[in-house]
Amino acid sequence: MLCITNRERPVLNRRQFALASVASVGALTLGRPGLSFAQAEQVARLRLIIDPEGLYNVQSISLAVSGVLGNYLLESLIYLDDKGQARPWLAESWQADADGRTITFKLRSGKTFHDGTPFDAAAVKFHFDTILDPNSASPSKGIVGPLEKVDAPDDGTVVFHFTKPFAPFINLLGQSYFGFNSPTAVKAAGPAYARHPVGTGPFMFDSWTPGTRIELVRNPNFKQFRPDAANQGLPYLDRIVLNVMAEEGVVTSALQTGEIDAAQLTADAVRPLADDPQFTVINDKNAKNLMFMEFDYKKAPFSDKAFREAISHAVDREAVLAAAFGGNGTIALGPLSRGIPGYDDAVAQKYGTPYDPDKAKALLDAAGWKDDGGVRAKDGAQAKFTIRSYADSTTERALAVIQANLGDIGIQVDVGTADWGTFYPGLLKPDWDMDLNRWTWSDPSVMSQLFRSPGHRQLLPPNPAIDEALDAADTALDSTKRMQFVSAAQTAILEDRMILPLLTDWPMTVTRTALQGYRLDYLGYVYATDLKIAE
């Protein structure tokens, strides 16, 4: 079912809309009294693949949440330029002390939140204090590592104090997790804030129909502080409608009829549109995501490295990539995406686990897992397990291939999916065996978030080779030395068969040519102020 329409009126495609407008020019208002035909609202309708679990970045850091907050609503202290270098945004400068344990930021003046309250040092301190507060249970707390406290000695100065140097910190500040919310709005709304976010970005939150759409309106007081944006003034668009649309075929049809203007699609869904001059296809081959499998290491047989290694050789990555993303991407043998600085292909090739079902069977035989009528067994226990993941069409196709691959070596798995807000917290419970996960990041410190014991789901036993390399990478302020530790960490993670890296997909976005100015920055966020509808 196509769920992009306003319940109060049918949605017309642009040709139908134009005809209806010509027939009733005098009555045309589009929700704004006195608006003439020549002044028709600039509205862009874009796809959301899934409904976000909330829109408060202290509580949620999923891709669905970041895609709304980072693109439109929030701004950060720095941005990353096209080479991945940190540049001033809401901050005008920063300086670390000699030992790297204190970093002082000077803020730009003249920025206000959507509710009219000032963006200042107190707002920055409030955001990080909330993250550090144990009562917040913020997933961002682990990201900021050794951050101890934040001071705001005056309105324009913020001082970050660390227990030890933290090399990734500056670059991580560009992520939407560290975009700023109005402290006044957060305090006033309480638990409801996640449904009514208030930032400083070019668009303001207007409404949210759960499972259907999120509507944003132009911020009339916006000031552009990013010099890399083509439009240095107010946004061109009056309104953005983000339509929750799960089915690829429905999205393709909606693009063709003009009911939406842009959508991320899989390669298979893009093919019917690729040669049509009405559309532009953007393929991000510098993507920084990684799809991978991991295990509940606290239970047998996943506590056994040999068993994990067998599974790692059993999965046909090329088949997963073809099924889930139409082959648009690259397989992964290492624990870091190729798009992230520090990826070491030599390590991936030497220590990775290429598809080899015969080797997988031999490893299982050696470990005592014998064939028992098509399903292996050991000590009376059959190899029947579960795989959990998040629900979307690409994941489900990937799971089907993995399920078949494991069946081929005598391991039977049941798969189950849920929305991210259910799936990810559920990994803290002991009722699963394997999961299929996916992270998008910009810095090699993602390995610390995932694999530095006890790991992101509190399951990993200490491993000195991994932990020490990751700690060294996170504290090394010299970039050359840091990359050496990053390579060592990749080696240690692969040698321990800590995860099963699968692939990096290249996100594909299709835009109608009527939507102009659509381009992505280094982190994959759209320059929202540049978007406009051709007259």
d(CA 364, CA 410): 9
> Hey, how many other C-beta atoms are within 10 angstroms of the C-beta on 211?
10
Per-residue confidence of the chain (535 residues) as pLDDT tens digits? 223 223 233 333 443 433 333 333 333 333 333 444 456 899 999 999 999 999 999 999 888 999 999 999 999 999 999 999 999 999 999 999 999 999 999 999 999 999 999 999 999 999 999 999 999 999 999 899 899 999 999 999 999 999 999 999 999 999 999 999 999 999 999 999 999 999 999 999 999 999 999 999 999 999 999 999 999 999 999 999 999 998 999 999 999 999 999 999 989 899 999 999 999 999 999 899 999 999 999 999 999 999 999 999 999 999 999 999 999 999 999 999 999 999 999 999 999 999 999 999 999 999 999 998 899 999 999 999 999 999 988 999 999 999 999 999 999 999 999 988 899 999 999 899 999 999 988 899 999 999 999 999 899 999 999 999 999 999 999 999 999 999 999 999 999 999 999 999 999 999 999 999 999 999 999 999 999 999 7
Is the previous residue joined to 301 through a cis bond, with omega within 30 degrees of 0?
yes
Amino acid found at 126: F
Q: Would you say 334 and 498 are in contact if contact means Cβ atoms under 8 Å apart? A: no
Q: Would you say 187 and 127 are in contact if contact means Cβ atoms under 8 Å apart? A: no
All structural domains of the chain:
44-284+509-533 (3.40.190.10), 289-505 (3.10.105.10)
Q: Would you say 185 and 115 are in contact if contact means Cβ atoms under 8 Å apart? A: yes
Give all strands (DSSP E) within 255-295, no chain letters: 262-265, 279-283, 289-295
